[in-house]
Amino acid sequence: MILEKTQLIEITDNLSASDNVKKLEFAADIINKGGTVCFPTETVYGLGANALNAAAVKNIFEAKGRPQDNPLIIHLDCIDNAEKYCFAEQNQYLEKIKSLFPGPITAIMKKRDNIPGIVTAGLPNVGVRVPLDPVAHMFLSLCKVPVAAPSANLSGKPSPTCAQHVINDLNGKVDVIICSGNSSVGLESTIINLVSEPPMLLRPGGITYEKLCSLLGKVSISDAVLSEMKPDDVASAPGMKYKHYAPKSPVFLVIGNLEEFKNFLIEKNFFEKFAVLAFAEDIQNLNLNNIFNIGSYTNPEEVARNIFACLRATDEICGIEKVYVHITDDKTGLNLAIFNRLLKASAYHIIDLRG
Ligand code: AMP
Ligand code: MG
């Protein structure tokens, strides 16, 4: 840290008000001096440092307790600036997906020498993202340098979708936390590797696989999206082999209809203390303590926004031994990203009740 203690900066609704601009200028100055700043984005909150300054980037790994072989994404205010840090114009695929920027997507391209190895964990490629969130956009424009950032949580924990999550995890470990509203997507960016042939989806997110196929034609899906990586696997999606998104108690995903799920929980209720994440339509019918509403079956956008906050909320209940999450096996659209995060949160523990 370059400051003595973490400064919390509150951004009010009227972003262009001079007070807000002054606060964001202060945060950008901290980035330029080699400090660390947590900032809101439409996906999740990020923990940023000047991507061109290896010493500053090292502080990100330390604050999070993140393994150094897990690369970071660089954040820019405009996709046209990508050419400065990677071989964007040579990439035949970037042109086809340019309309998705700014937005919840990260493109992996061959990096230039000005991006230090610590950002990409020694890989020859770098992930580039341009957030849509207006606070993030103004902050990044003021920084005038690329900002390397992973999610602003302690390594392994669910990603932060509101300022309070960031404060809980990183207060005292970072220089500045920019506090703004809740993240509107609620899941980390879609990651597409534009260097592989055909382009490969490394992590599903707010921009769906179907949307990418419509723009790029053929898109492959990394094994890491739906299956478990062993510690010594060579990762095409680095970082995917680590424990992710996990609350304190072990998570189990449960597939089945409402009746099957209800009977399962009634039986468990005799000998276990657990928390439940369930769909909005079923909350009343399940009639249990420690139950969290993830949103409607028919509204995956809502589930995406809620899921990390629900996982974090289970940490607040004393003495629970397990978390049961009711899921469907729909993997289309945004459901692929939700399913992927829950798989990692549960360390692939699925209970299938279907007869
Ligand atoms: P986080 O923002 O915390 O989700 O971390 C960024 C994630 O982006 C990492 O865990 C990696 O999976 C992925 N990533 C970043 N840079 C690269 C890269 N150069 N190649 C492949 N994946 C990357
Ligand atoms: Mg993360």
pLDDT digits (tens, 9 = 90+) for 197-238: 999 999 999 999 999 999 999 999 999 999 877 666 655 566
The model's pLDDT over 127-179, given as tens digits with 9 standing for 90+, comes to: 999 999 999 999 999 999 999 999 999 999 999 999 999 999 999 999 999 99
Lookup: tokens for 336: 């692929």
Give the distance (Å) from ligand 1 centre to CA of residue 202. 9
pLDDT in tens, 62-76: 999 999 999 999 999
| CA atoms of 23 and 10, how far apart (whole Å) | 8
For residues 44 and 181, the answer to whether their CB atoms sit within 8 Å is no
CATH topology of domain 7-225: DHBP synthase (3.90.870)
**Neighbouring-strand partners of residue 149:** 73
Q: Is the pLDDT of residue 241 over 70?
A: no
Cis peptide before 160 (omega within 30 of 0): no
- pLDDT of the residue at 238: 64
What lines the ligand 1 site, CB under 6 Å? 70-71, 73, 108, 120, 123, 125-127, 150-151, 188, 191, 202, 237-240
- Ligand 1 centroid to residue 321 C-alpha, Å: 31
Name the band, by pLDDT with cuts 50, 70 and 90, for residue 47.
very high
Mean pLDDT across the chain:
95
Q: What is the pLDDT of residue 227?
A: 86
Average pLDDT over residues 16-45: 98
How confident is the model at residue 235, as a pLDDT? 53
Pick 119 or 289 by higher pLDDT: 119
Q: Where are the alpha helices (DSSP H) in the chain?
A: 18-32, 54-64, 94-97, 117-120, 134-143, 163-170, 209-216, 258-268, 283-286, 300-313, 335-345
CA distances from 119 to 69, 162, 250 (A): 9, 25, 31
pLDDT at 287: 87
C-alpha 184/C-alpha 2 separation (Å) is 31
Which of these, 194, 2, 182, lies nearest to 79 by C-alpha position? 194
Task: Choose the residue to mutate in 73, 105, 195 for probing ligand 1, maximizing ligand atoms within 8 Å of C-beta.
Answer: 73
Three-state secondary-structure class, residue 44:
coil
Q: What is the pLDDT of residue 355?
A: 75
Residues by chain with Cβ below 5 Å of ion ligand 2 = 150-151
pLDDT tier at 93 (50, 70, 90 boundaries)?
A: very high
Q: Is the pLDDT of residue 296 over 80?
A: yes
CATH for 251-352, among 3.30.390.50, 1.10.150.170, 3.40.50.11030, 3.90.1170.50? Answer: 3.40.50.11030
Give me the residue spans of the domains in the chain. Answer: 7-225, 251-352
pLDDT of residue 230: 66
- Those residues with Cβ within 8 angstroms of residue 309's Cβ, 6 or more apart along the chain or in another chain: 158, 161, 162, 165, 186
| Residue 265 CA to ligand 2 centre (angstroms) | 31
What tens digit of pLDDT does each residue of 106-122 get?
Answer: 999 999 999 999 999 99
Residue 245 — very low, low, confident or very high, per pLDDT cuts 50/70/90?
confident
